[in-house]
Structure 1
Amino acid sequence: MRVIVVGAGEVGSNIAASLADEHDVVVIDQDADRVDSITYSLDVLTIHGDGTSLDVLEDAGIDDADMVIASTDSDETNIVICGTAKTVDDPFTIARVKKTDFLRTWEHSNGAFGVDFMVCTDLHTAETMVRIAGLPGAHDVDTFAGGQVHMAEFEVGADSPIAGETVSDADRFESLTFAALIRPDDIIIPRGDTVIQSGDNVVVIGSAESVRGFAGSLTPEPTLEEANEIVIVGGGEIGYQTARLFEAEGLSPRLVERDHDRARQIAERLPNTLVLESDATDIDFLVREHVDESDIVIAALDSDEKNLLVSLLAKRIGVDRTVAVVEFGDYVDLFETVGVDVAVNPRVVTAEEITRFTRKETTENVAILESDRAEVLEIEVDHDSLLFGNRIMDAMRELPDGIVIGAITRDGELITPRGETVVELRDHVVVFVDTAVLDEVTSAL
C-alpha cells in the first residue's frame, strides 16, 4: 500500500515509523530540518514542500496513493490536504484535528471535507485520561473484544506488594494473564517462576473484573466507580471533554478554570460539574477548596510547565493520584520521574489511534506500548491462521519468542487461554507481541 503522510512532527513521524516496514511511505513537510531527520531515521521517501499544493502531492505520487494521512498541527491545513487529494483520485483520507466542532460536522455528513476518517486529538486525549483514571495505578489501559478484554500496564515500585514475588505467586486472579515484564533494556515473556522486580512494568490481559482486582491489590486508590472527588484543572477543550466523559459515567467532577467567560460557558454546558473560577496554581485556593481530599487531580492546562506545577502542588498537599497532559513528548519521562503518576501526550495518543485504524485490514484492534516496543493485537481467526484448529501449546512451537496469547473470546464468552486450549474459527484472540517479531507473528496469525 502506498501511503502519503503530510506532517513530519511527532504524530507524523510515529505514524510513518509504524507503517514503513510493511508499506511504501512518503512523508511531506515544509520544515527542512524535520525532512532531513526523518530521511536518516526511517526507510521512507521524503519531500520538502507544502502538502496542500497539488504539485507537491503529485510529486509524492498521489495518483497511485492508497491512503493520505494529514497530520500537521493545523486543523484547517489537514482538511485542505484531504480535499485536495480527493480532486486527483480517490485515496482513503485521514485527517487529524483538535477542534471537536470539525469532528461533529464530519460525523453528521458522510465524507464531509473530503475526509474518510477523522481523529480528534483533544477528544482522544480526554478518553485516554478517563480510562487511566478508572484503573488505579495503571499507566496504560485499553479494551478489546467489545470491552470484554482489558489490557493494562502497571509500574512495580520498590514498595509494591508483588515486587520480589514470582509470577505464579502474584497471579491470584481468575481470567488474568501476565503478558510481559517490560524493563529498560529488555522485554521478558514471564513464566511461573519469573521474579517480578522493582522497576518492572507489568502488562496484564484479562477480564475487566480480574484486571480491576489486580489493580486493587497493588494500590489502595479507589476505582472510578469508588472515586468521590475528581478535580480537573483547565477548562480548555481537553479539560471540558474530560469532565463531559466523567459526567457520562455518572460522576460529578469539579473543574477549575481561570477565565470568567470560559468558566461560565462550561458551567452552562455541564450541569453535573462544579466549575470553580480561580487559578489552580494558588496553593491557598487548593487547600481552601479541599483539593487535598480529592481522589485524583487531572492537569489539562495550556502549557506543560503549568501542568507540572499543578500536579506537584497537588501531590504536596496530599492528593494520591495525578494525571497530566504533556504536549512535548520528551517531557513525559521527566514528569513521571519527578512525581506525576501518569503523563499523557496528545500527539502520541493521536498517532496510536491513526495507526490502529490503518491496521484494521489485518487486526481488529491494536494497542501500542512503550513507544512501540510492544503491541497488543486483537485478531479474528480465519482458516489461514496458524492458530486455527490447533492447541495453543502446539501453535506456539511454530512462533518466535516474544508472543503471549492473553485472552480469547468465543460467541461472546471470555476464555482464559491455556496450553491445551484449541482455537476455533472466528475466535477473537488478544495477543501480546514484542515489536521485534511483529511482522512474523502477524503474517502467521
Structure 2
Amino acid sequence: MRIIIIGAGEVGSNIAEGLADDHDVVVVDTDSERIESLTYSLDVLAIEGDGTTRSTLEEAGVEEADMVIASTDRDETNIVVCGAAKTLDDPFTISRVKDTTLLRTWEHAEGAFGVDFMVCTNLHTAQTIVKIASLPGAHDVDTFGGGLVQMAEFEVESDSPIAGETVAEADRYESLTFAALFRNGDVVIPTGETVIEPNDAIVVIGSSESVRGFASSLTPAPTLEDANEIVIVGGSEIGYQTARIFEEEGLSPRLIEQNHERARELAERLPNTLVLESDATDIDFLVREHVDESDIVVAALDSDEKNLLVSLLAKRIGVERTIGIVEYGEYVDLFETVGIDVAVNPRLVTSEEITRFTRARRTENVAMLESDRAEVLEIEVDQDSLLCGNRIRDVISKLPDGVVIGAITRDDELITPRGETVVDAGDHVVVFVETDVLGDVSDAL
C-alpha cells in the first residue's frame, strides 16, 4: 500500500516508522532538517514541500496513493491536506486534529472536510488516561472480543509479590495468559519456568475479572470502580475531556483550575465535577483540600514541568497514583523514573492510534505495545486461516518465534487457550505478536 504522510514531526515520524516495513511510505514536510533526518533513519521517500499544494501532492504521487495521513500540528492544515488530496484522486484520508468541536462536526456529516477518518488528540489522550486509571498499576490497557477480553501491561517493581516467581507460580487466575515480558529492551515469550524479574514489564491477556484480580495482587491501589476520590489538575481541553469521561463512568471527580473564567466555564459544563479555583502547585492548598486522600491525581497542566511538579507534590503528601501529561516524548521515561506513575504523551498515543487504524483495516482490533515493539491483534478466523480446525499446539509450531495465542471468544463466551484447544471458523482469536514477525503471522492467520 502506498501511504503519504504530511508532517514529519513526532506524530508523523512515529507513524512512518510503524508503517515503513510493510508499505511504500512517502513523508512530506516543509522543514528541511526533518526531511534530511528521515532520509537517513527510515526506509521512506522524504520530500520537502507544502502538503497543502497540488504540486507537492502530485510530486508525492497522490494519484497512486491508497492513503493520505495529515499529521501536522495545525488542525486547519490537516483538513486542507485531506480536502486537496480528494480533489486530485480518491485516497483514504486520515486527519489528526486537537479541537474536539471539529471531530463532532465531522462525526455528524460523513466525509466532511474530505476526511475519511479523524483522530482527535485531546479526546484520545483523555480516553487513554481513563483506560489506564481503570486498572491499578497498569501502563497500558485495551479490550478485545466485544469486551470479553482485556489486555494489560504492568511494570514489576522490586517489591512486587511476583518478583522472583516463575510464571507458573504467578499464574493464579483461571482465565489469564501471560503473553510476554519486556526485559532490557528484549521481548521474552515466557514458559511456565520463566522467572519474573524486577523491572520487567509483563503483558497479560484474559477475562476482565482475571486481569483486575491480577492487578490487585500487584498493588493495593483501588480499581476505578472502587476509587473514592479522583483529582484532575488543570482545566485544559485534555483535563476537561478526562473529567467528562469520568462522569460518564458514574464518577464525580474534582478539577483544579487557576484561571477564574476557565474555572467558571468548566463548572457549568461539568455538572458532576467539583471545580476548585486555585493554584495546584500550592502544597498548603492541596493539604487543606485533602488531596492527599485521593486515589488518583491526573496532572493536565500546560507544561511538562508543571505536571511533574504537581505529581511530585501529590506523591509527597501521600497520593496513591499519579498520571501526568508529557508533551515531549523524550521525557516520558525520565518522568516515570522520578515522579509520575504513568506518563501519557499525546503525540505518541495519537500516532499509535493512526498506525493501529491502518493495520486494523485487516483485523478486528489492534493494540500496540512498547512503542510498537509488539502488537496484540484480534483476528476473526476464516476457512483459509492456519488456525482453522487445528490445535493451538500444532499451529504455534508452524509460526515464527514471538507469537502467543492469548484468548479466544466463541459465541460470546471466552475460551482460555491451551495447547490442545481446537480453533473453529468464526472464532475471534487475540494474539500477541512481535512486530518483527507481524507480516508473516498476519498472512498465516
TM-score by length of 2: 0.99
* Per-residue deviation, 1:212: 0.2
Helix, strand or coil for the counterpart of 2:21? coil
**Residue 119 (structure 2) pairs with residue 119 (structure 1):** yes
Aligned to 1:442: 442
2: CA distance between counterparts of 1:25 and 1:64?
Answer: 12
Aligned to 1:316: 316
* Per-residue deviation, 1:360: 2.5
Q: What amino acid is aligned across from residue 411 of structure 2 in structure 1?
A: D
Contact kept, 8 Å, 2:308 with 2:339, in 1: the verdict is no
Aligned to 1:44: 44
2: CA distance between counterparts of 1:381 and 1:329?
Answer: 37
Say which is worse superposed, 323-332 or 381-390, in terms of deviation: 381-390
Aligned to 2:10: 10
Aligned to 2:19: 19
Aligned to 2:233: 233
2: CA distance between counterparts of 1:73 and 1:384?
Answer: 42
1: CA distance between counterparts of 2:269 and 2:149?
Answer: 33
Q: What amino acid is aligned across from residue 8 of structure 2 in structure 1?
A: A
Aligned to 1:219: 219
The count of aligned residue pairs is 445
1: CA distance between counterparts of 2:354 and 2:430?
Answer: 20
Aligned to 1:210: 210
Aligned to 1:147: 147
Contact kept, 8 Å, 2:254 with 2:273, in 1: the verdict is yes
* Per-residue deviation, 1:361: 2.9
Say which is worse superposed, 225-234 or 363-372, in terms of deviation: 363-372
Aligned to 1:373: 373
* Per-residue deviation, 1:313: 0.6
Aligned to 2:94: 94
Aligned to 2:336: 336
Aligned to 2:400: 400
Deviations 1:62-116 (A, max 9, x none): 1111110000000010000001111111111000000000000001111111101
2: CA distance between counterparts of 1:45 and 1:382?
Answer: 36
Matches within 5 A, 1:347-386: 347-386=347-386
Helix, strand or coil for the counterpart of 1:84? helix
2: CA distance between counterparts of 1:264 and 1:231?
Answer: 17
Contact kept, 8 Å, 2:126 with 2:238, in 1: the verdict is yes
Q: What amino acid is aligned across from residue 129 of structure 1 in structure 2?
A: I
Say which is worse superposed, 10-19 or 387-396, in terms of deviation: 10-19
2: CA distance between counterparts of 1:22 and 1:72?
Answer: 23
Q: What amino acid is aligned across from residue 243 of structure 2 in structure 1?
A: A
Helix, strand or coil for the counterpart of 1:177? strand
Q: Structure 1: which 5+ residue stretches go unaligned?
A: none
Q: What amino acid is aligned across from residue 20 of structure 1 in structure 2?
A: A
2: CA distance between counterparts of 1:354 and 1:367?
Answer: 11
Helix, strand or coil for the counterpart of 1:225? helix
Q: What amino acid is aligned across from residue 279 of structure 2 in structure 1?
A: D
2: CA distance between counterparts of 1:339 and 1:310?
Answer: 9
1: CA distance between counterparts of 2:231 and 2:250?
Answer: 15
Say which is worse superposed, 433-442 or 330-339, in terms of deviation: 433-442
2: CA distance between counterparts of 1:236 and 1:337?
Answer: 25
Deviations 1:124-152 (A, max 9, x none): 00000001001000011111112111000
2: CA distance between counterparts of 1:224 and 1:144?
Answer: 19
Deviating beyond 4 angstroms after TM superposition, the runs of 4 or more aligned structure 1 residues are none
- Provide the alpha-carbon RMSD of the alignment: 0.7
Contact kept, 8 Å, 2:297 with 2:322, in 1: the verdict is yes
2: CA distance between counterparts of 1:66 and 1:434?
Answer: 26
2: CA distance between counterparts of 1:100 and 1:214?
Answer: 35
2: CA distance between counterparts of 1:423 and 1:4?
Answer: 38
Q: What amino acid is aligned across from residue 177 of structure 2 in structure 1?
A: T
Helix, strand or coil for the counterpart of 1:195? coil
**Residue 276 (structure 2) pairs with residue 279 (structure 1):** no
Q: Structure 2: which 5+ residue stretches go unaligned?
A: none
Q: What amino acid is aligned across from residue 333 of structure 1 in structure 2?
A: D
> Percent identity over the alignment?
77
Aligned to 2:105: 105
Deviations 1:199-229 (A, max 9, x none): 1101000010000000001111000010000
Deviations 1:4-53 (A, max 9, x none): 00011111111111111111110000111111111111111110011111
2: CA distance between counterparts of 1:388 and 1:170?
Answer: 31
Helix, strand or coil for the counterpart of 2:409? strand
* Per-residue deviation, 1:419: 0.4
* Per-residue deviation, 1:185: 2.9
* Per-residue deviation, 1:401: 1.0
Deviations 1:273-320 (A, max 9, x none): 000001101111111111000001000111111100100010011111
* Per-residue deviation, 1:398: 0.3
Helix, strand or coil for the counterpart of 1:279? coil
Deviations 1:312-357 (A, max 9, x none): 0100111110000001000000011102100001111111111111
1: CA distance between counterparts of 2:185 and 2:53?
Answer: 43
* Per-residue deviation, 1:2: 1.0
2: CA distance between counterparts of 1:22 and 1:103?
Answer: 29
1: CA distance between counterparts of 2:11 and 2:145?
Answer: 26
2: CA distance between counterparts of 1:98 and 1:253?
Answer: 23
Say which is worse superposed, 253-262 or 434-443, in terms of deviation: 434-443
Helix, strand or coil for the counterpart of 2:371? coil
1: CA distance between counterparts of 2:320 and 2:295?
Answer: 6
* Per-residue deviation, 1:154: 0.5
Matches within 5 A, 1:78-93: 78-93=78-93
Aligned to 2:128: 128
Aligned to 2:253: 253
